[in-house]
Amino acid sequence: MFLRNCKAEHCHHFRDLHQYCLESSRTSVVRAFPNGVPSLACNSMVPGHGLRPQSNENSQIVFEAEPNLVHAPLRKDEPMENRKKNGPHVVTLTLRSTDGVPFKGFFVQAQSENVDGSFGQFLIHQGPGHYGNCGNGKRTSVTHADNNRKEKILLKWISPSNFTGEVKFKATVVRDFSHFWVDLPSNPVTVED
């Protein structure tokens, strides 16, 4: 209504402002997290890029879980023969590019039908990362510490000492802003006494 009644010499400022307001209201907020994934992503594992993820069937990322045959030491100096039979188990996780094209970001969790949310504890074995507290306890997830190029990340996961059952590890991997994969599964691992 105001724009119809304004004098021609003053209207162009209001029309420009009106057009700017209309166009800016159509844009969505997109955030990049070069220093790791925020805790808001714990449940969905989806980066806030405002785009759809790539199909996991066409992923150029391999996510492997290799269970160790020994239980984790309860102390660093504990001899092998003193380790509890039903103590925590260690799983080595490898996240790597198969086509030689590096990735910039990652987010990893352990999940099980027997436990709500992410669980266990992660240790960063090779590569820069931050720990997250998704689900049950501290260091229950791990994410990138920078947006530098990475071809391979090595992690260790330690099960809770009283856990038995199947564990599935899930990863989100970001190659660049528009190329990322969500819920990439590793091979399942069974933790037994």
- Domains of the chain in sequence order: 1-30 (no CATH), 39-191 (2.60.40.4060)
- Cα torsion angle, 97, 99, 104, 106, sign: negative
Strands 152-158 vs 89-97: parallel, antiparallel or unpaired: antiparallel
Q: Report pLDDT digits (tens) over 90-108.
A: 999 999 999 989 999 999 9
Helices and strands (H and E) in the chain: how many: 2, 10
* Higher per-residue pLDDT: 85 or 165: 165
One-letter amino acid of 75? R
Here the tokens at position 145 are 């510490």
* Contact (Cβ atoms closer than 8 angstroms) between residue 173 and residue 180: yes
> Which pTM value belongs to this model?
0.72
